[in-house]
Amino acid sequence: MPKYDTKVQIDPGTGWVTGCPTSASTKVKIISTGFAQANGVSGASSGDDSVLEAVYTYIPTQVTIPTIGSAVYAHTISGVLKNFTLDSAVNTVAADVQIKNGNAICTNGAKIAGNLILGNGFASLDNCTVSGTIHVAKYVTLEGGASLVQGDVIAAGQGVAAGSNVISVANGATVNGSLLSSGNVSVTSSPGSTVKGNVTVAGSATSVARVANNSKVNGFVQSSGTISNLGTIVGAKTQNVTGLVPPPVPAVPNWSEIPYPAPFSSTTWAAQGFQELVWNGPCVISGVEPAWTDLSALTVPTVVNTLTKCGAAGISTDSNVKTLTLQTHVALAANSFAFTKLKVLSSDTTARKLWLYVPDSNSADGLPTCVAPSGNITMSSETDIAPEVSVMAYTPCKFYSDRDGWRGQIYGGEVEFGQQAKLTFVPVGVPGVDLSGNPYVPPVPAHLGERISLRDRETSD
């Protein structure tokens, strides 16, 4: 009966050692020894065994593509995130940003406490922090010693000119995770930049992974093309690797339309126990307004319908602080909101939710429909939301926040943050509506790449 023995060795960049492949491995050697069914046939022992050695490139599991439910969903983004802070009130929930169209330009100490996902754009960070992963359709540039990405950086390189960088880590920026790119990667100096994970360039034979003088990669560097190294690469360096899989374009979901219900009793709001209250108060709320104060007396989850009374003008307030104390969950439905100095409290320690809801008039096209009477949600001057309260803003038009202490979630056809805006993420959602929409994208599993060599050996040692 045929017998054989197999030994597996790996090269983590320091030479061959016996063992199974790890995330630091770039080559695998398989040594197979076959033994004859009978030894010493015709008095000859030279054919008692046969040793075959094969060496393959090894492609570890590439970085995991994040699947997220977002703190901020923008079908389009505008402006610059400058001194912007996005954190999470729940330690186990990341404060993620999803942008369907547009770019994320981040400067001057802005912070995102989660993943940054751009379905059709690029990310440019200058002294900014992202505590999750960046995944973009186009390219990523990280500049400055205060720029830090705690997770991975993934760039699909869509529309990037041949020879240009798809990922650039420059001027002292740091990535604690790994880089996965469909084209050129540059880790530049002046001062040195750092990638603490691996670098994978899954492009073409002309792609280059560059590590400049004073810069460092703590893991390995694999390239479908070449490697230019004037800095420090701690792990193995493997060029001309076949079988590398380029990262996909991020799967940012389409827009979720939420029209105002007609009749109300047949909708998801009603199915979740909400009643409808038709607004009879003024559309410009000034001073101490009894109709506004009466909302604090509601004890049953309620959608306040201001659409007919206020029309396209929507609801607005003067510069006096408007306080709303919630005894239950409340949704305000209007064609636009223009609030200054809004203060929202809970009547006790119970968690309460508030929605500022501008309906989308078209429920069939998967796009935000910002046409009259639908309008913007503008939060200016001051927003004070108690720790027991979370607020969801939904509009097919523009959400704008300027220096506000928003606590909750934002879902807008267009989103812009002014100077020093702040958002503390608390998952809110909309009753009966799935806003996530992301299909799961599994990571590319570890696998053997191209066979580098095959030879007979005299012994298996």
Residue pair 174/147 in contact (Cβ under 8 Å)? The answer is yes
What tokens does 9 get? 């060795």
- Report the range out of 95-99, 104-108, 115-119 with the highest average pLDDT: 115-119
Percent of the chain with pLDDT over 70: 89
Sign of CA dihedral 420, 425, 431, 435: positive
β partners of residue 169: 142, 187
User: To 10 degrees, the CA torsion angle through 199, 205, 207, 209?
Assistant: 40
Q: Name the amino acid, one letter, at 235.
A: G
CA distances from 225 to 143, 200, 451 (A): 25, 11, 17
What distance in Å separates the CA atoms of residue 64 and residue 68, rounded to the nearest whole number?
12
C-alpha 172: how far from its chain's center? Answer: 23
What distance in Å separates the CA atoms of residue 27 and residue 8, rounded to the nearest whole number?
11
By CB neighbour count within 10 A (0-12 exposed, 13-18 middle, 19+ buried), where does 159 fall? Answer: exposed
Structural element, H or E, at residue 141: strand 140-143
The 447-457 sheet, strands edge to edge: 17-18, 3-11, 27-35, 49-59, 447-457
Instruction: Note the pLDDT of residue 134.
Output: 94
CA distances from 171 to 148, 167, 429 (A): 12, 13, 39
Residue pair 412/75 in contact (Cβ under 8 Å)? The answer is yes
Percent of the chain with pLDDT over 90: 49
The residue among 414, 408, 433 whose CA lies nearest residue 368 is 414
Within 200-288, residue ranges assigned H as helices are 268-271
What tokens does 2 get? 């045929």
Q: How many residues does the chain have?
A: 461
The residue among 143, 111, 146, 149 whose CA lies nearest residue 417 is 111
Computed over every residue of the chain, the mean pLDDT equals 86
Q: Is pLDDT of 407 > 50?
A: yes
What distance in Å separates the CA atoms of residue 296 and residue 345, rounded to the nearest whole number?
9
Confidence of residue 91 (pLDDT cuts 50, 70, 90): low
Give 378's contacts (C-beta < 8 A, 6+ positions apart): 336, 337, 338, 339, 398, 400
Tokens 């509506």 correspond to 433
Q: Name the amino acid, one letter, at 353.
A: K
User: To 10 degrees, the CA torsion angle through 379, 383, 387, 388?
Assistant: -60
Per residue in 242-255, pLDDT (tens digit) is 888 899 998 888 88
Q: Is pLDDT of 93 > 70?
A: no
Q: Rg of the Cα trace of the chain?
A: 29
CA distances from 118 to 56, 121, 123, 167, 458 (A): 35, 6, 8, 14, 55
Q: Of the given ranges (304-308, 326-330, 453-457), which has the lowest mean pLDDT? A: 453-457
Residue pair 333/430 in contact (Cβ under 8 Å)? The answer is no
Counts for the chain of helices (H) and strands (E), in that order: 3, 42
Q: Name the amino acid, one letter, at 359.
A: P
What tokens does 387 get? 């720790």
Q: Name the amino acid, one letter, at 409.
A: Q
Instruction: Note the pLDDT of residue 67.
Output: 47
The residue among 20, 50, 45 whose CA lies nearest residue 32 is 50
Per residue in 343-370, pLDDT (tens digit) is 999 999 999 999 999 999 876 788 899 9
Residue pair 37/432 in contact (Cβ under 8 Å)? The answer is no
Cis check for the bond before 373: say yes or no (omega within 30 of 0): yes
Instruction: Note the pLDDT of residue 71.
Output: 83
Instruction: Note the pLDDT of residue 440.
Output: 45
CA distances from 415 to 97, 161, 206, 410 (A): 11, 29, 38, 8
Cis check for the bond before 2: say yes or no (omega within 30 of 0): no
What tokens does 318 get? 């003067």
Confidence of residue 63 (pLDDT cuts 50, 70, 90): low
Instruction: Note the pLDDT of residue 307.
Output: 96
Tokens 């009749």 correspond to 263
Tokens 């096209």 correspond to 365
Q: Model pTM?
A: 0.83
